[in-house]
Structure 1
Amino acid sequence: MAKMISHCPVCSTKLNISTLTCKGCGMELKNDFELNSFDSLDPEQYTFLITFLKHRGNLNAVQKELNVSYPTAKKQLDNLLVSLNLFDDTAADSTENQEIIDMSTWTIPENSNKASDIIKQKLMENGGKATVYTVNGGSHEIRAASDGLSFISNKVNINPPWQYKVFDIIVDLLVSQGGTAEKGNGRGYKLGEGKCTEKTVVGAIGYHYSGKSLGDSVHDPVFFLAAILEWADIAYNGRGKLTLTDSYRKKINL
Structure 2
Amino acid sequence: MKREVLGNCPICQNETKITEIYCKKCETTIKGEFELCKFCRLTKEQQYFVEVFIKNRGNIKEIEKELGISYPTVRNKLDDVIFALGHKVDKTSINQKEVLEKLSNGEISKDEALKLLNE
Q: Same fold (TM over 0.5)?
A: yes
TM-score bracket, shorter-length normalisation? 0.7 to 0.9
Larger radius of gyration: 1
SS at the partner of 1:47? Answer: helix
Unaligned runs of 5+ in 2: 112-119
Alignment pair present for 1:94 and 2:93: yes
Distance (Å, rounded) in 2 between the aligned partners of 1:63 and 1:77: 12
- In structure 2, the residue matched to 1:138 is none
Deviation at 1:58, TM superposition (A): 0.7
Deviation at 1:146, TM superposition (A): 2.5
Q: RCO higher in 1 or 2 (8 Å CA, sep ≥ 6)?
A: 2
Deviation at 1:13, TM superposition (A): 2.5
Identity of aligned residues (%): 32
How many residues end up aligned between the 2 structures? 109
Deviation at 1:88, TM superposition (A): 4.3
Unaligned runs of 5+ in 1: 107-118, 129-144, 148-254
Distance (Å, rounded) in 1 between the aligned partners of 2:105 and 2:14: 48
Please state which structure has a larger fraction of its residues in helix: 2
- In structure 1, the residue matched to 2:116 is none
Q: What TM-score, normalized by structure 2, do the two folds share?
A: 0.75
Cα offsets for 1:188-231 (capped at 9, x unmatched): xxxxxxxxxxxxxxxxxxxxxxxxxxxxxxxxxxxxxxxxxxxx
Conservation of the 8 A alpha-carbon contact between 1:16 and 1:32 = yes
Distance (Å, rounded) in 2 between the aligned partners of 1:99 and 1:45: 24
- In structure 2, the residue matched to 1:28 is 29
SS at the partner of 1:29? Answer: strand
Q: What TM-score, normalized by structure 1, do the two folds share?
A: 0.38
Conservation of the 8 A alpha-carbon contact between 1:78 and 1:87 = no
Conservation of the 8 A alpha-carbon contact between 1:52 and 1:58 = yes
- In structure 2, the residue matched to 1:120 is 105
How large is the Cα RMSD of the aligned pairs? 3.0
